A and B are shown apart, each in its own frame.
Chain A
Amino acid sequence: EAEVAQSPRYKITEKSQAVAFWCDPISGHATLYWYRQILGQGPELLVQFQDESVVDDSQLPKDRFSAERLKGVDSTLKIQPAELGDSAMYLCASSSSWGRNEQFFGPGTRLTVL
Chain B
Amino acid sequence: AQTVTQSQPEMSVQEAETVTLSCTYDTSESDYYLFWYKQPPSRQMILVIRQEAYKQQNATENRFSVNFQKAAKSFSLKISDSQLGDAAMYFCVRAGNMLTFGGGTRLMVKP
Contacts and interface: CB of A to CB of B under 8 A. Distances in A.
B and A form one assembly:
yes
A109 to B, nearest CB: 13
Interface residues of A, number: 20
Interface residues of B, number: 22
Interface SS majority for chain A:
loop
A96 to B, nearest CB: 13
A100 B102 contact: no
Contacts of A100: 33, 50, 52, 95
A84 B47 CA distance: 31
Interface SS majority for chain B:
strand
Interface in A100-114: 100, 102-103, 105-108
B101 A43 contact: yes
Given A41-B103, A99-B33, A100-B33, A105 B45 contact: yes
A42 B44 contact: no
B90 to A, nearest CB: 10
9 contacts: A42-B4, A43-B45, A43-B101, A44-B101, A91-B45, A100-B33, A100-B52, A103-B37, A103-B47
Interface of B: 4, 6, 32-33, 35, 37, 44-47, 50, 52, 91, 95-96, 98-104
Interface of A: 33, 35, 40-45, 48, 56, 91, 93, 99-100, 102-103, 105-108
